[in-house]
A and B are shown apart, each in its own frame.
Chain A
Amino acid sequence: MIELRGVTKTYGAGASRVEALRGVDLSIATGEFVSVMGPSGSGKSTLLNLVSALDVPSTGDIAIDGQSIAALDDDALTLFRRRKIGLVFQFFNLLPTLNALDNVLLPLMLEGRTNDKDRERAARLLAEVGLRERTQHRLHQLSGGEMQRVAIARALVLSPKLILADEPTGNLDSATGQTVLALLRSTCQAHRTTIVMVTHDLQAARAGDRIVELRDGRIVSDHGVPGRDQLGEATA
């Protein structure tokens, strides 16, 4: 599903040059749930930006679902991102001017589609994430956990092959965070969606199948999560 070959990402030049990623090789299979961890400045956000097609590598190649994205122009990258990738952010990043249903519909609106079938699909997704009764609610009427579930529904509305989550539980209390992680887990299983999640929380990381650790722009460890239970809790 995702192939990174010799990927580097450099910012700035001269004395202010920073190598955020240094020759990263990484393969992620379809349907895998990978957690990316590392301290501040390790390059995990940069890695996520590249895999999200929000940015392009300085050198190396990235292929997502068989498509190399390094040479795509901005419009092509944007459309690729819209149709193939779902994004979940730490701070939810929902639009305050839209209700829950319309926030879920946003990617479809960007496609120029909002017929009745689309609205039904969006409502179904909200029901799947436990928000059947909240479709017309505005953001100020939703809790943090509810907003994150709306964001997950939004990420799923175009049936993407890949979901990228940047600290999805970072702004939630632990109980709500667990609920969100369980939701991501079940989505991964039910839809065979590949999930890449950046987190600094080891507990959260164990919700995935695999943990990749970064340090100073390099992968320093890449191992499976042994004996996970259904809710993603790592066993001792």
Chain B
Amino acid sequence: MKARELAARTASFAATSVLALVQLAALALSPFRIGRLLRSVSVPRLAEHKLRTTLTVLGVALGVAMLVAVVIVNDSLMRGIAGTIDDLAGSTDLQVSAGTSGFSESLLETVRSQPGVGRAVPLLQQTVTVRDARVRGERLLVLGVDMLEGDDARFRKYGSTELEAIQKDPLAFLNSPHNVLVSRSFAQRYGYKLHDKLTLATADGVIGFDIWGFLDDEGVGRAFGGAVAVMYYQAMQVAFDRGQNLDRVDIALAPGHEPGAVQAQLTAALGDAFIVEPPSRKGDRLGKMLLGVKSGLTIASLIAVLVGAFLIYNTMAISVVQRKREIGILRALGTLRGEITRLLTLEGALLGLVGSLLGLGLGVLLSRGLLAATSSALNEAYVQLPATEVRVGPLTLLAGLALGTLGATIASIIPGSAAARDRPAHTLRTASVLQAEPEGRGLRKTDLAALLLIAASRPLLTLPTWFDLPLGAFAAAFALLAAGALLLPRLVELVSFLLGALSARMSVATRLAHENLPRDLGRTATTAGALMAGVSLAVSFGSFTYSFTRTLEDWIDQTLPGDLFLTQGATLGGTSMRNIPMADSLYAELAALPGVSTVRRVRIVELPFRGLIPKAVATDIDVFLQHAKLTLLEGEQSQVVTDLKRGDVGVSENFARRFGVHLGDRIPISTSTGTRQLRVAGVFIDYTSDVGSVLFERSTYVDIFGDSRVDTYELHLQDPAQSEALRRTINERFADRLDLFVLTNREFRGEVNHTTEQIFSLVRALELVALIVAVLGIINAQLANVLDRVRELGVLRALGMLRRQVSRMVVVEAALVGALGTAAGVLLGVALGDVLLNHINLVQTGWYFPYRLSWGAIAEVTCLTVPAAALAGLYPARAAARLVVTEALDYE
């Protein structure tokens, strides 16, 4: 179906639905006066103005759709994560873990010996890329468990007849460290049979694993979207070069013991650097990691709903003005004030209800695309997500319906009650007055309210966080938005006054257009206000991303100046969840390549610390400092380097801020052999992790953690111009045994930008929706303006204004409203950018970026919104130009 046809059908459907619902409501309420008023007053009016009704419904629908889509995505992500955690955890009461590098298997006995621990089983976990051509880069979650002992089966369900057979006679299975069982759904999806080879990229290279059985679609087999492989844990230690390490110990409590007490006991026994928690807490922790992204999406969607609410308010206000005579007559005939208010409010509520219902459907559709985009974005940077499916909870739908309908209802009460307030004679007398008397130039109530809100925003910024959410900053942002909306009428007057000075040089169409702006200040300001909200989101977020990317680029310039970057599994090495570490043995091979000047090794692992997961970054410090720079905030360079080599650590700025750590402090670090108290040698700027990072000299790291693997080899060449040639050499030599990525410096930066762009693009999509809704508001308002000024347009045509001059006037007026809203939005966006960067982001990531205004974002949004606003004026312009002059002159 063509887009135009679909749009026409949707519009027709929306208008028809509203009419049908209002008629239904009229029927249901027919025993009451309001029902009769609905039938005789509202129904004909809505039928007469189908296009405007449709625009309003669509505005609500889009706002609700965005909010519902974001809530569904947030909910689906968390349920997907929780589902996988539950499937893997099974009936586990408590879990012990300690970061990516894991911990020594010897601690298993320590755990088992604690009072209250009934059973404790080991577990390893790694996400790998499948290298078979038919699978094309699918990820698989590999679990190493002790499935030969009876204990593990008490924790989780495996549902595999082959496993039962293996358990009876395990010798053949244990003969090789490359034997696995895979989930049946995965095998069926890609046509794997028993004893087929499954090629996986591992730390030791690309290895073929033998499929010894299948896991049914229940319990473990269902986890991670049904893409799971299970192997014996000790085989996994060998195959994935994990030494003697485990990732986790799952615990079932002995009868009569409370989880809280056992948890405290284990934490005391193992130390601060271990995480001991019920499985559900892991989901909470992962949720916390995603909090920044989730709250960003939520804020953007709330702004889309706000823009929708502007649209409703404007529509109802316009409707009231145009129905002044009708309302005056109803009042004169004895309709009570309350009945008028209830009638108009009910109309708005019904419009909102239809819009919300449409929005729910749109939101569910939209959530599929948004979920795919979000998963893809988060997979790289944050957490391995299963192939998540959209889960639509009834509460989500109910909340979307309630919010959209309530928003519309509230937006209708104000104009409705204002309409009913005047005496009937006054209403009738002023029914055809096109312009209210101009307000005085003195301070108005709205000015005062705006100034109060601006003043309040500063103290709001200083409020402490609430459950890790910077609610004060959010409130400050909305206070500034509200202040902007209240000050818009002043801006309209100011612009019209300034343009008045240039009137002599304008065409008559342009002059009349700008003179029309202050005629109905409320309407102009509300229409521009909706655009202002959308533009401010675009500008503030644009400046935020610009500040972030520029700072990141500067930091990469200083810290990652290598000519070539080698990684496995993922282009960004240890910062990506797809990363597969490489063996240290590659170091000598790479260093021996002709043309290679130096090789630096980088290892990035998770490092549990006080309930969060910052990163440990281990590197060859001397090699690093030959080419790069460490930007220190605390500590002196040469002393810091000496201390790092001696076994101290450095911490990133956001780590220091988040955990209150400084130069000279000692911090507990969990290692494979226990907790160590390491001294902080310095605080430096680092953007590896938004939770924070701890810098180790590589030798210290290997010594402490027993982990010699490498995530990234950074090569410096004698002649950087030879990068391509060397890349070819490396690929020829290593590609068949390693899942390698070899990137030039420029390509590496491109990958970093791509990853951040993926996350930011989610909010951009929501910005666009907010802007679309605002532009719909301009069409609505301009149509109303044309209707209000039919007689005036008739007079202009009678006096000799050509049709094209009339069109131009309407289009210019729409463009001016667009320009006003854009200008206000830019100003507001600049202020909001600071709130976003220095308050919301600072709290959620601990990262400080200098605020850089993005002129690019401002130019981009201006080039989009002002022409879009002018285009929005085209249809009303056509309607105005087509008026029959004689009918228009008679119009009342």
The chain A residues found within 8 Å of chain B, CB to CB, are 49, 52, 54-55, 74-75, 78-79, 81-83, 87, 89, 93, 95-98, 106-107, 109-110, 112, 114, 140, 154
Q: Which of B372-380, B508-516, B556-564, B734-742 sits within the interface?
A: B508-516
Please measure, in the bound complex, the distance between the C-alpha atom of A33 and the C-alpha atom of B331, giving whole angstroms: 45
Are B792 and A93 in touch, CB under 8 angstroms?
Answer: yes
Q: Which of B12-20, B536-544, B800-808, B857-865 sits within the interface?
A: B800-808
Please measure, in the bound complex, the distance between the C-alpha atom of A48 and the C-alpha atom of B800, giving whole angstroms: 16
B794 → chain A, closest Cβ, in Å? 8
Are B800 and A83 in touch, CB under 8 angstroms?
Answer: yes
Are A109 and B800 in touch, CB under 8 angstroms?
Answer: no
The one of A54, A97, A107 that contacts B885, using a Cβ cutoff of 8 Å: A54
Are B791 and A107 in touch, CB under 8 angstroms?
Answer: no
Q: Which residues of B contact A82 (CB under 8 A)?
A: 799-801
- B886 on interface, CB distance cutoff 8 Å: yes
Are B435 and A110 in touch, CB under 8 angstroms?
Answer: no
Please measure, in the bound complex, the distance between the C-alpha atom of A114 and the C-alpha atom of B505, giving whole angstroms: 9
Are B798 and A112 in touch, CB under 8 angstroms?
Answer: no
Q: A109-B511, A112-B508 are in contact. Are A97 and B516 (CB under 8 A)?
A: yes
Q: A54-B885, A89-B795, A112-B508 are in contact. Are A98 and B515 (CB under 8 A)?
A: yes
Q: Which residues of A contact B885 (CB under 8 A)?
A: 54-55
Extra contacts besides A54-B886, A87-B798, A106-B799 (18): CB < 8 Å: A54-B885, A55-B885, A74-B803, A78-B797, A78-B803, A82-B800, A82-B801, A83-B800, A89-B889, A93-B792, A93-B795, A95-B792, A96-B434, A97-B516, A109-B511, A110-B799, A110-B801, A140-B437
- B6 on interface, CB distance cutoff 8 Å: no
A25 → chain B, closest Cβ, in Å? 22
B800 → chain A, closest Cβ, in Å? 2
Please measure, in the bound complex, the distance between the C-alpha atom of A78 and the C-alpha atom of B889, giving whole angstroms: 15
- CB within 8 Å of A: which of B857-892? 885-886, 889
Q: Which residues of A contact B792 (CB under 8 A)?
A: 93, 95
- B731 on interface, CB distance cutoff 8 Å: no
Please measure, in the bound complex, the distance between the C-alpha atom of A118 and the C-alpha atom of B435, giving whole angstroms: 28
A47 → chain B, closest Cβ, in Å? 12
User: In the complex, what residue of chain B is closest to A114 when comparing beta carbons?
Assistant: B504
Subset of 28 A-B contacts with CB under 8 Å:
A54-B885, A54-B886, A74-B803, A75-B803, A78-B797, A78-B803, A81-B798, A81-B800, A82-B800, A82-B801, A83-B800, A87-B799, A89-B795, A95-B512, A95-B515, A95-B792, A95-B795, A96-B435, A97-B512, A97-B516, A106-B508, A107-B799, A109-B511, A110-B796, A110-B800, A112-B507, A112-B508, A140-B437
A15 → chain B, closest Cβ, in Å? 21
Main secondary structure on B side of the interface with A: helix
Q: Which residues of A contact B797 (CB under 8 A)?
A: 78
A165 → chain B, closest Cβ, in Å? 13
B504 → chain A, closest Cβ, in Å? 6
Give 8 nearest A-B pairs by CB, closest first. A82-B800, A97-B515, A109-B508, A93-B795, A96-B435, A49-B886, A54-B885, A110-B800
A138 → chain B, closest Cβ, in Å? 8
Please measure, in the bound complex, the distance between the C-alpha atom of A95 and the C-alpha atom of B796, giving whole angstroms: 9
User: In the complex, what residue of chain B is closest to A92 when comparing beta carbons?
Assistant: B795
The one of B507, B519, B791 that contacts A93, using a Cβ cutoff of 8 Å: B791
Q: Which residues of B contact A112 (CB under 8 A)?
A: 507-508
A89 → chain B, closest Cβ, in Å? 7
A10 → chain B, closest Cβ, in Å? 14
B404 → chain A, closest Cβ, in Å? 37
User: In the complex, what residue of chain B is closest to A81 when comparing beta carbons?
Assistant: B800
A115 → chain B, closest Cβ, in Å? 9
Are B508 and A79 in touch, CB under 8 angstroms?
Answer: no
The chain B residues found within 8 Å of chain A, CB to CB, are 434-435, 437, 504, 507-508, 511-512, 515-516, 519, 791-792, 795-803, 805, 885-886, 889
Are A54 and B798 in touch, CB under 8 angstroms?
Answer: yes
Please measure, in the bound complex, the distance between the C-alpha atom of A81 and the C-alpha atom of B802, giving whole angstroms: 11
Q: A54-B885, A96-B519 are in contact. Are A79 and B511 (CB under 8 A)?
A: no
Please measure, in the bound complex, the distance between the C-alpha atom of A89 and the C-alpha atom of B512, giving whole angstroms: 20
Counting chain B CB atoms within 10 Å of each CB, the highest count among A49, A83, A106, A109 belongs to A109
Q: Which residues of A contact B800 (CB under 8 A)?
A: 78-79, 81-83, 107, 110
Please measure, in the bound complex, the distance between the C-alpha atom of A74 and the C-alpha atom of B791, giving whole angstroms: 18
Please measure, in the bound complex, the distance between the C-alpha atom of A55 and the C-alpha atom of B515, giving whole angstroms: 29
Q: Which residues of A contact B805 (CB under 8 A)?
A: 110
Q: A49-B886, A54-B885, A95-B512 are in contact. Are A78 and B801 (CB under 8 A)?
A: yes
Please measure, in the bound complex, the distance between the C-alpha atom of A49 and the C-alpha atom of B797, giving whole angstroms: 13
Q: Which residues of B contact A87 (CB under 8 A)?
A: 798-799
Please measure, in the bound complex, the distance between the C-alpha atom of A114 and the C-alpha atom of B507, giving whole angstroms: 10
Please measure, in the bound complex, the distance between the C-alpha atom of A49 and the C-alpha atom of B796, giving whole angstroms: 15
A148 → chain B, closest Cβ, in Å? 14
B373 → chain A, closest Cβ, in Å? 48
Counting chain A CB atoms within 10 Å of each CB, the highest count among B435, B515, B798 belongs to B798
User: In the complex, what residue of chain A is closest to B795 when comparing beta carbons?
Assistant: A93
User: In the complex, what residue of chain A is closest to B804 when comparing beta carbons?
Assistant: A75
Are A75 and B886 in touch, CB under 8 angstroms?
Answer: no
Q: A52-B798, A83-B800 are in contact. Are A97 and B508 (CB under 8 A)?
A: no
B233 → chain A, closest Cβ, in Å? 82
B496 → chain A, closest Cβ, in Å? 9
User: In the complex, what residue of chain A is closest to B801 when comparing beta carbons?
Assistant: A110
Q: Which residues of B contact A93 (CB under 8 A)?
A: 791-792, 795, 889
Q: Which residues of B contact A75 (CB under 8 A)?
A: 802-803
B798 → chain A, closest Cβ, in Å? 6
User: In the complex, what residue of chain A is closest to B885 when comparing beta carbons?
Assistant: A54
Q: Which residues of A contact B435 (CB under 8 A)?
A: 96-97
Q: Which residues of B contact A89 (CB under 8 A)?
A: 795, 889
Q: Which residues of A contact B798 (CB under 8 A)?
A: 52, 54, 81, 87
User: In the complex, what residue of chain B is closest to A79 when comparing beta carbons?
Assistant: B800
Q: Which residues of A contact B512 (CB under 8 A)?
A: 95, 97
User: In the complex, what residue of chain B is closest to A82 when comparing beta carbons?
Assistant: B800
Q: Which residues of B contact A83 (CB under 8 A)?
A: 800
Q: Which residues of B contact A107 (CB under 8 A)?
A: 799-800
Please measure, in the bound complex, the distance between the C-alpha atom of A79 and the C-alpha atom of B511, giving whole angstroms: 20
User: In the complex, what residue of chain B is closest to A139 when comparing beta carbons?
Assistant: B435
A213 → chain B, closest Cβ, in Å? 22
Please measure, in the bound complex, the distance between the C-alpha atom of A54 and the C-alpha atom of B886, giving whole angstroms: 7
User: In the complex, what residue of chain B is closest to A87 when comparing beta carbons?
Assistant: B798
Please measure, in the bound complex, the distance between the C-alpha atom of A95 and the C-alpha atom of B792, giving whole angstroms: 7
User: In the complex, what residue of chain B is closest to A105 when comparing beta carbons?
Assistant: B508
User: In the complex, what residue of chain B is closest to A140 when comparing beta carbons?
Assistant: B437
A23 → chain B, closest Cβ, in Å? 21
Q: Which residues of B contact A74 (CB under 8 A)?
A: 803
B853 → chain A, closest Cβ, in Å? 36
Q: Which residues of B contact A106 (CB under 8 A)?
A: 508, 799
User: In the complex, what residue of chain B is closest to A93 when comparing beta carbons?
Assistant: B795
B436 → chain A, closest Cβ, in Å? 10
Are A78 and B802 in touch, CB under 8 angstroms?
Answer: yes
A8 → chain B, closest Cβ, in Å? 16
User: In the complex, what residue of chain B is closest to A119 when comparing beta carbons?
Assistant: B504
Q: Which residues of A contact B434 (CB under 8 A)?
A: 96
Q: Which residues of A contact B802 (CB under 8 A)?
A: 75, 78-79
B361 → chain A, closest Cβ, in Å? 43
Please measure, in the bound complex, the distance between the C-alpha atom of A106 and the C-alpha atom of B508, giving whole angstroms: 8
Q: Which residues of B contact A110 (CB under 8 A)?
A: 508, 796, 799-801, 805
B437 → chain A, closest Cβ, in Å? 6
Q: Which residues of A contact B795 (CB under 8 A)?
A: 89, 93, 95
User: In the complex, what residue of chain A is closest to B517 when comparing beta carbons?
Assistant: A97
Please measure, in the bound complex, the distance between the C-alpha atom of A78 and the C-alpha atom of B798, giving whole angstroms: 7
Please measure, in the bound complex, the distance between the C-alpha atom of A98 and the C-alpha atom of B506, giving whole angstroms: 14
Q: Which residues of B contact A52 (CB under 8 A)?
A: 798
B189 → chain A, closest Cβ, in Å? 67
Please measure, in the bound complex, the distance between the C-alpha atom of A49 and the C-alpha atom of B888, giving whole angstroms: 12
A109 → chain B, closest Cβ, in Å? 4
Please measure, in the bound complex, the distance between the C-alpha atom of A98 and the C-alpha atom of B512, giving whole angstroms: 9
Please measure, in the bound complex, the distance between the C-alpha atom of A105 and the C-alpha atom of B435, giving whole angstroms: 21
A195 → chain B, closest Cβ, in Å? 17
Are B886 and A55 in touch, CB under 8 angstroms?
Answer: yes
